[in-house]
Amino acid sequence: MISSTESAPSVQAAGFPFTAIEGQPQLQTALLLAAVDPLLGGVLVEGPRGTAKSTSARALAALLPAGRFVNLPLGATEEQLAGSLDLEAALQRSAVVFRPGLLARAHGGILYVDEVNLLADALVDLLLDVSASGINRVERDGVSHQHDARITLVGTMNPEEGQLRPQLLDRFGLFVRLENVPSAAVRKVIVKTRMAFDADPQAFVERHAAAQADLAQRVRLARERVAAVAWTDAVHDDVAQRCQDAGVEGVRADLVMLRAARAQAALHGRSAVTPADVQAVAELALAHRRTQAAPPASPPSGEPAQPPTSEEQAQTPPPAPAPASQAAGGAPSGQSGNGAALSADPSPDNGAPNGAPADAWGAMPPPQLVAMKTVKALKPLPPKKA
């Protein structure tokens, strides 16, 4: 068992309250679900600068009952993340002692990674292995050690600074893509809230203390009852169909969506998952795994199909114009007067370049055969004089 003299990071009393965040309801939902069920696989938050990504993730720490919130710096080394040999014990006592890293401190809690898309490849591979197995194995510097590391990843990234590797992207259970501020009114509310916090952080926190305590209590109760929340076959069928329509690979999306819907139900005090719970979490589980758009809903049998909308009509290309000979009413070349089929050898003067079909506008011309040219034989070089 690992013993460490380092205490868990404490949350500053003047940290921005989670309940005071404005304009990001989907982000708050995803973070609360990860707090209720850490086995969801964490949350990845993607968005432009200044959209409260880091603020929301850090504010989640105050709602964790007994978990830890550990920050992984962008310049951290593999030894700091996984752990290494305790040099002080080795030099003073000639003892081989393992010094725990950030993964050991984050066990049972949240490991927060800012700008996760800029992490070194070695750290990304290590996070992949640990998040998949729940065990941190260290084989280095004469140390052979392993310990439990059931971590929940919370990462933020700005897509303008680079994309995330697909392997790590799929490990995140939930994904939130933040857009820019939607309106001037929302922008005004966000700025006023932040200005009030900066003017007097302590007073601002005290005004939201009751709401924070109520939400923390809901999270604590939800964590206790989430394993007992059940779902019906109809809910499972809904989840399976959504994943099938999205064309996701594997069944990780199904597992994440069911867990997220269960956490959503537990957070609202329900003992069973409802279709509304699935609807609330579906996009969070499918946004980064979807490979195809959902097919349009077909009308029930016996009902006529709906006519295409104006947008669909605008996207449909117009039919190709008929050749001039057909427009004039004459029979095309190679067709008899009794309406026989068109000839398989079309006329070369039908208006298309190099004999291409008339309706293949912009098509490449067919390949042309080019005769090979003979090359004169090369004369051998004269031998060098001795």
Enclosing H/E stretch for 135: strand 135-140
The CB density around residue 26, as the number of other CB atoms within 10 Å, is 16
Spatial distance between the Cα atoms of 308 and 210, rounded to a whole number of angstroms: 52
Sheet of strand 110-114: strand arrangement = 69-72, 110-114, 152-157, 43-46, 174-177
252 in catalytic set: yes
Pairing of strands 83-85, 174-177: unpaired
Which amino acid does the sequence have at 3? S
Is the Cβ–Cβ distance between 89 and 132 less than 8 Å?
no
Spatial distance between the Cα atoms of 366 and 368, rounded to a whole number of angstroms: 6
* Residue from 68, 137, 252, 270 carrying the catalytic annotation: 252
Residues for the chain: how many in total? 386
Beta-bridged to residue 174, according to DSSP, are 43
Spatial distance between the Cα atoms of 290 and 279, rounded to a whole number of angstroms: 16
Tell me the three-class secondary structure of 51-80, residue by residue.
CCHHHHHHHHHHHCCCCCEEEECCCCCHHH
Q: How many angstroms separate the Cα of 140 from the Cα of each of 46, 99, 129, 145?
A: 35, 12, 16, 9
Spatial distance between the Cα atoms of 74 and 322, rounded to a whole number of angstroms: 63
- Where in the sequence numbering do the catalytic residues fall? 252
